[in-house]
Amino acid sequence: MIVLHDAEAIRAGIQAVARRIRERFEGTELTVLAILRGGIVFAADLIRALELPVRLDTIGVSSYRGDTTDPGAIQISSSPSLDVKSKAVLIVDDILDTGRTLSRIRADVAARGASQIATAVLLDKPARRAVPIEADFVVFTVPDVWVVGYGLDHDEKYRNLPYIAALPAPSG
Ligand code: 5GP
Ligand code: MG
């Protein structure tokens, strides 16, 4: 495993992004929608750095990924609880990869009548984008490698690592 970003770099990166989000939403109540499960570690740290009035909600997504390289269809496995009609919503995920997850959830939040929608991701992997979407707030950009830690898993392992690491590419 190769460490890409250690705990201290992540802390500083999240603080910097939180400052930009705070400037953008000054005086606005923000509904933070964390994407389960990988997004919760980043979301937990981000909301404590925001210094804004925040409501916290979650949405569960299954992507039917057969292996670490093939994305499948997006399915909502658990719906958000809070009403976002006329609310400012910040969608938070661990990584923006093909873009399918974030664009699907963004459309979902728009359909629920949010007045403003912004997106924040811990990691951006632009090499594999299949849907034209960029996140408004990105902590780190990563190359086309399989990353784990800080919410990101490999077969449900490693989500609790306090750093972000790259795994060797899967064979076959
Ligand atoms: P997208 O829909 O943008 O292709 O993928 C988003 C989801 O795919 C992320 O929320 C994450 O669960 C998963 N994903 C994409 N790339 C990686 C990666 O390098 N490592 C891990 N652990 N998950 C990834
Ligand atoms: Mg995910």
Ligand 1 atom closest to 99 (CA): 3
Write the residue with the smallest CA distance to atom 9 of ligand 1: 95
Q: Is the pLDDT of residue 165 over 90?
A: yes
Q: Closest ligand to 68 CA?
A: 1
pTM of the model: 0.94
What DSSP line would sit under 36-89, residue for residue?
ETTHHHHHHHHHHHH-S-EEEEEEEEE---SSSS-----EEEE---S--TT-EE
Q: Which of 60-64, 74-78, 159-163 has the highest mean pLDDT?
A: 159-163
Residue whose CB lies within 8 A of the most ligand 1 atoms, among 36, 70, 94, for a mutation test: 94
Per-residue model confidence as pLDDT tens digits over 63-76? 766 555 555 678 99
Tens of pLDDT, residue by residue over 113-143, are 999 999 999 999 999 999 999 999 999 999 9
Cβ burial of 132 (10 Å; 0-12, 13-18, 19+) is exposed
**Is 97 among the residues known to form the active site?**
yes
Average pLDDT (83-95) is 98
Query: Which domains, ranges and CATH numbers included, belong to the chain?
Result: 8-144 (3.40.50.2020)
| Ligand 1 atom closest to the CA of 145, numbered from 1 | 19
